[in-house]
Amino acid sequence: MHILVIPFGDALGTRGDGHGNSVKIRAADALVRAMKNLGVRHLFGIPGGSIMPVYDALYDAEDIKHYLFKHEQGAIHAADAYGRITKKPGVVLVTSGPGATNLVTGLANAYMDSSPLVAISGQVATPILGRDGFQETDIIGVTFPITKLNMQVRSPDDVVSAFTTGYIVSTEGRPGPVLIDIPRDVLLGSTGSIEPIPKIHPKTFGGEPGREEILKALRLLLNAERPVILVGGGVCWSGAWDDVITLAEILWAPIVSTFPGKNCVPNDHPLYLGPSGMHGRLEADAALANADVVLAVGTRFSDRTVGRFKEMNTKAIIHIDIDPSEIGKNVRTEVGIVSDAKKALKAMLRELPSAIQEEYNRQHSGRRSFIAWLKEIRRKYEEYIEAKAGGMKPFAPWKVLKVLRRTVPPSTIVTTGVGSHQMWCELHWDVYIPGTFITSAGLGTMGFGLPAALGAKIAASNRPVMLIDGDGSFQMTMNNLSLVRDYGLPIISVIFDNRALMLVKQWQIYMYSRRVIATEFTKNPDFVKIAEAYGIEGYRPSSYEEIENIVRRALRTDEPVVIDIELDNEKDIVLPWVKPGEWLTNAVPPEGLEVDLVWRG
Amino acid sequence: MGMDSLARVINTIRRGKVQVLEISSKLGSNGDINIAIRVRGEESEIEWLRKKILVLVDVTSVEVL
């Protein structure tokens, strides 16, 4: 266990007047000063009565830029994406009551995707606490299960230490969201001394992995006939993609990923087959389903990735994760290594030359035929969809993605909403540079994409940012378009417009005997006009070439744009698809494509 | 932090697939809280619970008797 040493004095930035006398300042001012000293340069939020002291303190804080959102959900999703790009917590400021409760979805989203952020909510003054005051909500009680840590500060002297603790805890070990609730009178109170928050023990599990575990894992991998590496989001946080690639190349092991793991390995690497699972690639499903040994790195083994746990438990699983509670949670592990992904993979690479090289060489040729078979599945599928694209009017969604991919630079950050467009991205968006694909994977939060794109642009203003959204998802948070012009955030917004909650409709078609209800929109707003209302150019292209031209122009002029891509909502069905609770080899392929996902040697 | 730490643990237990038979907690003079929980359930579920409680930021140790 690692006990954190918190730089309380540094965080405040002052411990006296230089003559041994303590200087008292307003707690809200001390908080803002602590933010500055910790390197916070951007804040996301909406002011209100209880948080006003902090806003007042920000009045003179020229080093910190505040982004005013129209709804707290937008602010927290932006902070979430900001944290994923910068690897530092995004900081959110909201008021009490509805301001705080509007954070709930964003906190849960960040919690599920292990994203670092610190949310500060104002609270009613302490004499009113518990008296059902105006805009009082027990936000601590509300957010226990969806925060890594939450705390209510009751003394001005605890404000800075609470924030500093929360800031560090949110990135320590497995990242996650922290909420700090501060009553208005506490923010207005004076502080001169900084008291540590008692009984907080941030801890990082798993320093250097044990040599015995590493050797055992290597023996399993070297003796395997069909080893497969499953990459999860933890690889990104750890920055371990080079190590994954090196290990895969040495072992000649195919790489598959979870959906967030797609962001953690260059998708154009020859050994990367794509994400497996509910809306994964057929070749990735086949690889994972037919593997005899699985090296899983930084993943929680979601049902969404593996379909069914029963069959997974027939494999020898080596599981590396920084969170000990993930080891053995969903699948039985042969070797569990509690460690940072990079540390564990580096240790494996160090030990590899001394491991049983001879045994590995013996197996090598078998692995090549396994990979060749998986590549053949890919070839069949790609050929099939290429042939089918012409029949989808006006656009085939996957072809739109291919056009976009070849038009925007590799460093472009892409965010998505949630729905069928997102699943098309899972299947067909190639992430060339790890860390450039931001999506709501765990919670599946519709409306995440647009505010996340804003947060990404704030974090990386020199890189193009493109939102790929669905019409249903976009409409949940499209008020965030106002920030594009307010703050000069030129994002490219592409809307896959099928005038339906298409993924839900797909379930109704396949699992509820086509009883389609409450998933088709009778009439959409005109997204081109919506864009224009926010001072952004909007387009409704009629050809792939036109899409390419619009995007090229937006990139060249560094101007925002909204592109409404109309899709046929009868044909926009995302296949292949592993139905909930099904095993990977039972993936439903697109109609007319015949493919056997069981390896027969 | 006392009651909040306790609530965090209770929230974790709520999600466990175990039958809770007894919970008691004692607040020490140094601010530490000792929580004793008697549960019935499969070993794997108890292990899930142990690990989930252990990773909570304000928990120092978990012992299964």
**Residue in B4, B11, B32 closest to A151 by CB:** B4
CA distance A568 to chain B (A): 42
pTM recorded for the entire structure: 0.94
pLDDT, residue A6, reads: 36
Say how far residue A347 (Cα) sits from the centre of its chain. Answer: 27
| A510 closest CA partner among A305, A328, A300, A278 | A278
| Mean pLDDT across A118-147 | 97
CB pairs A-B closer than 8 Å: 51
Residue A16 has pLDDT above 80, yes or no: no
CB proximity A363 to B under 8 Å: no
Q: Distance between CA A172 and CA B43 in Å, rounded?
A: 30
Give the model's confidence band at A207: pLDDT under 50 very low, under 70 low, under 90 confident, else very high: confident
Convert A321-359 into a string of H (helix), E (strand) and C (coil).
ECCHHHCCCCCCCCEEEECCHHHHHHHHHHHHHHCCHHH
With residue A123 as reference, give the H or E element that holds it.
strand A117-123
Most B-contacting residue of A111, A129, A144, A333 (CB-CB within 10 A), to test interface? A144
Residue A539 has pLDDT above 70, yes or no: yes
**Residue A120: helix, strand or coil by DSSP?**
strand
| Mean pLDDT across A443-455 | 98
CB proximity A353 to B under 8 Å: no
ipTM for the predicted complex comes to 0.94
Cβ pair A455, A81 in contact under 8 A: yes
Q: Take residue A46 and report the two structure tokens written for it.
A: 């909406």
Give the model's confidence band at A12: pLDDT under 50 very low, under 70 low, under 90 confident, else very high: very low
Residue A70 has pLDDT above 70, yes or no: yes
Q: How far apart are the first and last CA of chain B?
A: 26
pLDDT, residue A294, reads: 98
**Residue in A144, A152, A200 closest to B11 by CB:** A144
Q: Is there a contact between B7 and A198 if contact means CB atoms under 8 Å apart?
A: no
| Mean pLDDT across A408-422 | 98
H helical segments located in A445-558: 449-459, 471-477, 482-486, 502-511, 527-533, 544-557
Residue A589: DSSP 8-state? P
Q: Distance between CA A541 and CA A498 in Å, rounded?
A: 14
Q: Is there a contact between A150 and B58 if contact means CB atoms under 8 Å apart?
A: no
pLDDT, residue A371, reads: 95
Q: Is there a contact between A199 and B11 if contact means CB atoms under 8 Å apart?
A: no
Q: Distance between CA A504 and CA A494 in Å, rounded?
A: 21
Convert A472-499 into a string of H (helix), E (strand) and C (coil).
HHHHHHHHHHHHHHHCCCCCEEEEEECC
Q: Distance between CA A527 and CA A451 in Å, rounded?
A: 17
Cβ-based contacts of B1 with chain A (< 8 Å): 151, 197-200
**Amino acid of residue A600:** R
Say how far residue A294 (Cα) sits from the centre of its chain. Answer: 23
With residue B33 as reference, give the H or E element that holds it.
strand B33-40
Cβ pair A293, A315 in contact under 8 A: yes
Cβ pair A80, A92 in contact under 8 A: no
With an 8 Å Cβ cutoff, the interface of chain B facing chain A consists of: 1, 4-5, 7-8, 11, 15, 31-32, 44, 47-48, 51-52, 54-55, 57-60
Most B-contacting residue of A112, A149, A325, A333 (CB-CB within 10 A), to test interface? A325
| A78 closest CA partner among A48, A113, A42 | A42
pLDDT, residue A363, reads: 59
Nearest CA in chain A to B50: A325
Give the model's confidence band at A8: pLDDT under 50 very low, under 70 low, under 90 confident, else very high: very low
Say how far residue A65 (Cα) sits from the centre of its chain. Answer: 24
pLDDT, residue A180, reads: 98
| Mean pLDDT across A545-570 | 97
| A32 closest CA partner among A46, A5, A11 | A11
